[in-house]
Structure 1
Amino acid sequence: MIIIGHHGINYPKFRKITSLDEINSVENTLIIWFESADDKGYMLSHHCIENDVRYAVWIDNIKDFVIYAALKPVYLILEKSPEIYQKIAETYLYDTKILYVIEDEEEIEELAKLGIDGAIFRQVLR
């Protein structure tokens, strides 16, 4: 299980962006992330793909989940119904990993029982 943001585990740093201009100012050691609603015409994701930028997308519906999984971000970040998304990912054999947003480490056990790819603490995304 991937755990991002726990104080006892080294993890990659994330930086939120909302525009193409912001991507160029982010160090290449960081994983950029954006909300699917900010990716007008999939310009952000296409830029990341074309320039080998590691990125993650915050999604909130199954349609976006399926589309963005095909665009191969490192992670898809979600906040609801992780078991539904994990089942879809397993069915379609996506390479992208699912990260469920958590507030407290006590939530990790339940996600592990559900077979969710990973957890990301909310503060990492601020």
Structure 2
Amino acid sequence: MLLFGHTYVPSEPFYHIDSIEALRHTPSNSVVALFFTPENLDIIEHLRLNSIRFALHVETATDAVIAENLGASYLIVLPKHGAEIQKVAEHYLFDAKVLGYIDAEKDLENLIEMRLDGAIFSDAMIKINS
């Protein structure tokens, strides 16, 4: 299981962006994160064309399948959607890793029971404004 943002485990942060301009304020070779929405498709296309690793916040199995096909490296899910999306990811052999978004270590046990690929703690997410 991958852990991003756990106190004891060194990991790279994710940089949450909401515009291409915000991307310019992230370190090179970083992982950027954004919500999977129609409004962000231009940003996602920019990331793909420039081979920038990205994570997409998804809420449904359909969104997860589309995000995988768009080239997302990670799918960030709320725990309530985790089991369903992980099952789809395993069935279709996604390259993207499914990460449950949590605030505290006490929530990690739930993700382990769901057999998610990993967890991303809220501390691992750095908001970048344009």
Aligned-residue identity in percent: 29
User: What is the aligned partner in structure 1 of residue 45 from structure 2?
Assistant: 46
Unmatched 5+ stretches in structure 2: none
Equivalent-residue separation in structure 2 for 1:7 and 1:25 (angstroms): 25
What's the counterpart of residue 13 of structure 1? 13
Q: Any unmatched runs of 5+ in structure 1?
A: none
CA drift of 1:118 comes to: 0.5
Segment drifting more, 105-114 vs 52-61: 105-114
The separation in 2 between residues aligned to 1:12 and 1:122, in whole angstroms, is 13
Q: Where in structure 1 do 4 or more consecutive aligned residues deviate above 6 Å?
A: none
Letter in 1 for 2:82: P
Once the two structures are superposed, residues 3-22 of structure 1 have per-residue CA deviations (whole angstroms, 9 ceiling, x without a partner) of 11111111111111111122
SS in 1 for 2:64: helix
CA distance in 2, matches of 1:45, 1:81: 22
Give the length in aligned residue pairs: 125
Secondary structure of the structure 2 residue equivalent to 1:40: helix
For the aligned residue pairs, the C-alpha RMSD in angstroms reads: 1.5
Q: Distance between the aligned counterparts of 1:31 and 1:25, measured in 2? A: 12
**TM-superposed deviation, 1:68:** 0.5
Distance (whole Å) between structure 2 residues aligned to residue 97 and residue 72 of structure 1: 11
